Structure 1
Amino acid sequence: MQIDSLSRRLIDRFQHGMPLCAEPYRAMADALECSEDEVLACLEQLESSGGLSRIGPVFEHSRAGASTLVALAVPEAQLEEIAEQINRYPEVNHNYLREHHYNLWFVLTGPDRARIDALLLQIEAETGLVPLDLPMQAAYRIDLGFPIGDAP
């Protein structure tokens, strides 16, 4: 995927610290010295090409509720079907296929641990698969971001 100059600047500047205001895309445009329409078109192009998965906040789960890492051992013939089922839950994010017996991994979030437990039971009932529940014991913070800078 080829990334143009505006896309590179947008990614580098706003992977973190998206403006919290009534018109965030206008504020982004001002910071990048371009138009709001250009920012929106750039974001749409990044999304349609697979370079952008979402725009939104990341919350500290222990302050906003509860979460756990979940893994399922999904038979290969059912992978697409089960992944679609899992993706229908609004409480699911970061759903990935991995090379392992437990091959489908996702993060499950909810308002409290009781909701997480109920969701795990529901997922098991709907998929026929037993979820591996891996709640976080400690957080080791990293500043997850991928500066891409100028084109080579």
Structure 2
Amino acid sequence: MKTTQISPLEKYLINTLQKGLPLCESPFALIAEQINDQIANNTLSNMPKCNEQQVIETLNNLLQSGILTRFGPMYDAACLGGAFTLAAMDVPKSRFDKVANIINGLPQVAHNYERNHQLNMWFVIGTESQSEISDVISTIEMETGLTVLNVPKLKEFYVGLYFEV
């Protein structure tokens, strides 16, 4: 996967919004205000002051560029009647980017990561039904010619997932 440079504002927003969006009438204005307060208090550096519109535009740019694949709430798919699974693949280095693009192009796929292991590509498949997971796996295998290891959860643990950028 290629490495992408991001601005200090992009980094701040990715890190901050993973922890939640403020529940208020103007959450992006509040985020801009928090940034500006931290700059004024010298607790945040390397970033110019910003406003609500800049926060919104920056998030839109992150989505349009593909740096962020989605921005929104996380739902418990199982409680809503849906299903999800962890999946892994052994992808030849020479085909890694091409296979990643195929997989990332599927709306049911999220959290695609490269790992330093024989199974070097790991991702999550989320669907409306358990049977659709099998369909997505079949599609991936057909389009890539590679085998997908399906690793469904046996028990759920909440760990407060957070990936610092």
Q: Same fold (TM over 0.5)?
A: yes
Sort the Cα spacing of 1:88 and 1:44 in 2 relative to 1 into closer, same or farther, 3 A. closer
CA-to-aligned-CA distance 1:51-88 (integer Å, 9 cap, x gap): x6342211212123111111111112111111111111
Q: 2:56 aligns with which of 26, 40, 53?
A: 40
Task: Determine whether 1:15 maps to 2:18.
Answer: yes
Shift of 1:27: 5.0
RMSD: 3.2
Q: TM-score, normalised by structure 1?
A: 0.73
Which whole-Å CA distance do the structure 1 matches of 2:15 and 2:97 have between them? Answer: 33
Equivalent residue, structure 2, for 1:59: 75
Matched residue, 2:39:
none
Indicate the residue corresponding to 2:128 in structure 1: 111
Q: Deviations over 1:31-62 (max 9, x none)?
A: 667731242355468x49x9x63422112121
- In 2, Cα distance between equivalents of 1:126 and 1:44: 30
Question: Could you state the TM-score of these two structures normalised by the residue count of structure 2?
Answer: 0.68
- In 2, Cα distance between the equivalents of 1:117 and 1:11? 32
**Counterpart residue type for residue 76 of structure 1:** K
SS at match of 2:79: helix
Q: Which among 3, 9, 26 is matched to residue 8 of structure 2?
A: 3
Distance 2:96 2:16 in 1: 36
In structure 2, runs of 5+ residues without a counterpart are 1-5, 37-49
Is 15-24 or 121-130 further displaced after alignment? 15-24
In the aligned structure 1, how far is the partner of 2:106 from the partner of 2:163?
Answer: 28
SS in 2 for 1:93: strand
Deviations 1:7-45 (A, max 9, x none): 75x567543331457754245446667731242355468
Give runs of aligned pairs for residues 1-152 of structure 1, distance below 5 A.
3=8, 8=12, 14-19=17-22, 24-29=27-32, 35-40=51-56, 43=59, 47=62, 53=68, 54-64=70-80, 65-145=82-162
Cα 1:124/1:145, change in 2 over 3 Å: closer
Q: For 2:60 and 2:115, how far apart are their aligned partners in 1?
A: 28
**Aligned counterparts of 1:57 and 1:23: Cα–Cα separation in 2:** 17
Give the Cα separation in 1 of the matches to 2:107 and 2:140: 13
Letter in 2 for 1:69: L
Higher relative contact order (CA 8 A, sep 6+): 1
The residue identity in structure 2 corresponding to 1:81 is: K
Q: Which secondary structure does the structure 2 equivalent of 1:62 belong to?
A: coil
1:121/1:21 CA distance change after superposition, 3 Å: farther
- Say if 1:25 and 1:2 are closer, same or farther in 2 by CA, change over 3 A: closer
